[in-house]
Chains A and B, each alone.
Chain A
Amino acid sequence: MGYSLTIRGVTHRFEDLKRLLAWATPARSGDELAGVAAPSAEMRVVAQMTLAEVPLRRFAEELVVPYEADAVSRLIVDGWASEAGQAAFAVVSGLTVGEFRDWLLSDAATGERLAALAPGLMPEMVAAVSKLMRVQDLIAVARKIEVVTRFRTTVGLRGRLATRLQPNHPTDDPLGIAASMLDGLLLGSGDAVVGVNPVSDSVERVTGLLRMIDAVRVRYAIPTQSCVLAHVTTQMEAMRATSGRTAAPVDLVFQSIAGSEKANASFGVTLELLAEADAMARELKRGGIGAEVGGENVFYFETGQGSALSAGAAFGVDQQTMEARAYAVARRYKPMLVNTVVGFIGPEYLYDGKQILRAGLEDHFCGKMLGLPMGCDVCYTNHAEADGDDMDALLTMLGAAGVNYIMGVPGADDVMLNYQSTSFQDALYLRKVMGLKVAPEFETWLAGDGFGRLKAVAEPRMLLGGAE
């Protein structure tokens, strides 16, 4: 079955849903690189008009990546077809994509209703409607949805903005990492997670960094969680106690994920492996707020448009739809944090500030619609046509959209990964202009004795005192 639309006497036909979705996508270099983008501005709008008429149901009948060929497609469809999925979907089951947009923008679509709808939505439905939405639509709808997660802090509450403190160092030097941690903590950063990207993926190195961060957390009674962003298998190895080594203090488990089984395979992961890691981390019961033990959410996922194409695993599907499919993977594990690292991938996927800005807001919207605790690494590389002004625009819009957290990198300059993200001061700016506060547990800490002792630390070496 194809799709067609007659406009001004000309009938346009689209052979399949995949083509229709790709052509309806606002311009971006990655779709052009893949050869799936609309050939003209006019055809882009023709595709959007045609897409607006497609019933939401249709996405379950015609999959963009075949069910038999792909575990992510099976995860998506089986979830949608389940009893819970169908019960949630019932509210919008009679709508077309265009009617869905109108409903989302109406007062009838309250935050509670949208949260209840999430399990009934396929990522392709959400991606489709986002393609018909302007930036303000993406902001207005996402803002209604509150996704709250908990480990040692509560992240995602309305009126709050958390940060991942990202104290990377080009040689994983503990003192260098401690210096950036101290700087960030003193500026109120780190309530979402203290997360280091290690240079080395060795179990010993990763365990050493985890112990270092955890010792600081315990010494200053900081309500936060730590993460060392090594490959999931390395973190699993670190979690296992062996004869020569006790289990590493793993709080959140990190992994990059994407929207197809093949793309995930290129990252060295399967759905089963992620489930295993999830179970291992929950077993450690390291989280918990107040009297509770365990922490409800233990995964930290990173995603980003273009990663599936980059891995040769996009199946001719546009990069934004593939990104939304990655969220179906994420939601299976009820993660603590999901981060779209939007501008990291480079100009061959997101060419300039305009493309990065829209992609960041699309990802935030799609993730929230699917029930995920979305954060965004508001970022760019030096070969993209973007600069700090573009990041300020995206940062401010994400603040308006109710983003759960952003990154905190010293001076916005990541000296290990060599790209620019957001600084500790950027978070202070956003909180000030939007009237946002840190996570409640962190807020209490900032006013208490632990933070007082931290303020007395005159140099990073002291932060490591006692850490083995």
Chain B
Amino acid sequence: MSGKIERPLREITAARLSLGAGSGAVSTQEQLRFQMDHALARDAVHAAMDAALLVRGVREREVESVVLRSAVTGGRTEYLRRPDLGRRLAVESREMLCEIASLPAAEVVFVVADGLSALAVDRHALGLMDAVRERLDGWTVGPVCVVTQGRVAVGDEIGELLGAKVVVMLIGERPGLSAADSLGVYVTWEPRVGRMDAERNCVSNVRDGGLGYVEAAERVVGLMRGAKALGASGVRLKDAADSKLL
């Protein structure tokens, strides 16, 4: 068929348009581009988070940190198959937090977890956390908790143990073909084990070419303030924010 669409369409959409020659087959060049993007995504899913590097970065900012791990013991394969284990802390991590918890509780606890892209955490966690912290006024902040093989809900257990009012979870999002290093941020008010996903708010797609640190941080802090005012996060907070916009 004729009618090959002219570029530059990249400004309109990232969709892979007009990939073919007239024969209807995908060109070698486009096929290899697809393979490369998938390979990057696969590598990101299976990469290990550099927790030591993260801890060093946190220490440079003169902030306490603690390294924890989820109940996943069987590596990445088990992590992918058993989301339930990724949502809970390992026993020794739990005990470690119980010791810290004897200190006065902070209002905010930042949790950083590898999720489905360690790459996203390595690249964006510290930068985004800096941007959020700069905008926090009058909140007491607890130690940064770094969790390996973690899912979003593991922040609930951490926040509950530390007596936090709000948990801000920074986690690697599932890599897509267009980006393998996208970070997600989840805000959960009064975290405790058993919170539903509908009780959190998410700021997604933090990466180069996606949402920048400044805009993302402003949204996160806005959600934190909104949650404090409302005494809840999640759907109710989203609805309140939406109706304010209208």
The chain A residues found within 8 Å of chain B, CB to CB, are 29, 32-33, 167-170, 173, 175-177, 179-180, 182-183, 186-188, 347-348, 351, 381-383, 387-388, 410-413, 415, 418-420, 423-425, 428-429, 432, 454-460
Contacts and interface: CB of A to CB of B under 8 A. Distances in A.
Given A173-B12, A186-B1, A382-B45, 9 more contacts: A173-B13, A383-B80, A388-B35, A410-B15, A411-B17, A411-B30, A420-B177, A423-B16, A428-B25
B48 to A, nearest CB: 15
Contact of A382 (B14, B15, B17, B42): B42
B81 interface: yes
A348 B81 contact: yes
Contact of A351 (B19, B81, B174, B176): B81
Given A29-B81, A188-B1, A383-B116, A179 B175 contact: no
A33 B174 contact: no
Contact of B176 (A183, A418, A424, A456): A418
Given A186-B1, A383-B174, A413 B81 contact: no
Contacts of A413: 15-16, 34, 37, 177-178
Interface in B83-133: 83-84, 116
Contact of A183 (B18, B35, B174): B18
B24 interface: yes
A250 to B, nearest CB: 24
B12 A460 contact: yes
A30 to B, nearest CB: 9
Contacts of A457: 3
Interface string B133-171: 000000000000000000000000000000000000000
25 contacts: A168-B15, A170-B14, A183-B5, A186-B1, A351-B80, A382-B45, A383-B80, A411-B15, A413-B34, A413-B37, A415-B15, A415-B177, A420-B177, A423-B19, A423-B26, A425-B19, A425-B26, A428-B24, A429-B24, A432-B24, A455-B1, A455-B3, A456-B3, A458-B6, A460-B5
A118 B81 CA distance: 35
Interface string B14-40: 111111100011100010001101100
Contact of A420 (B15, B38, B44): B38
Contact of A410 (B2, B19, B80): B19
A104 to B, nearest CB: 33
Contacts of B17: 179-180, 183, 410-411
B241 interface: no
Contacts of A410: 15-17, 19
A457 B2 CA distance: 11
Contacts of A455: 1-3
B153 to A, nearest CB: 14
Contacts of B4: 186
A458 B2 CA distance: 11
Contacts of B175: 382-383
A209 B9 CA distance: 20
A348 B20 contact: no
Contacts of B14: 170, 415
Contacts of A170: 14
B82 interface: yes
Contact of B34 (A175, A179, A388): A388
B51 interface: no
Contacts of A167: 15
Contacts of B24: 187, 425, 428-429, 432
B3 A176 contact: no
A43 B14 CA distance: 48
Contacts of B80: 347-348, 351, 383
A434 B4 CA distance: 26
Given A383-B80, A455-B3, A180 B19 contact: no
Given A170-B14, A186-B3, A425-B24, A382 B178 contact: no
A179 B9 contact: yes
A418 B16 CA distance: 13
B216 interface: no
A381 B9 CA distance: 25
A188 to B, nearest CB: 7
A411 B19 contact: yes
Given A173-B12, A410-B15, A459 B38 contact: no
A459 B8 CA distance: 10
A425 B20 contact: yes
A412 B19 CA distance: 10
Contacts of A175: 12-13
B41 interface: yes
A94 to B, nearest CB: 42
Given A347-B81, A383-B45, A180 B38 contact: no
A111 to B, nearest CB: 31
Contacts of B13: 169, 173, 175-177, 179-180, 415
B174 A382 contact: yes
A423 B38 CA distance: 15
Given A382-B45, A425-B24, A182 B5 contact: yes
A382 B177 contact: yes
A206 to B, nearest CB: 16
A424 B16 CA distance: 11
A188 B17 CA distance: 14
A465 to B, nearest CB: 15
B174 A460 contact: no
A167 B17 CA distance: 10
A105 to B, nearest CB: 34
A457 B81 CA distance: 47
Contacts of A387: 38
Nearest to A202: B242
Most B C-beta atoms less than 10 A away, residue of A382, A420, A457: A382
Contacts of B6: 458-459
B3 A169 contact: no
With most chain B CB atoms within 10 A of its CB, the pick from A411, A413, A457, A458 is: A411
Contacts of B26: 411, 423, 425
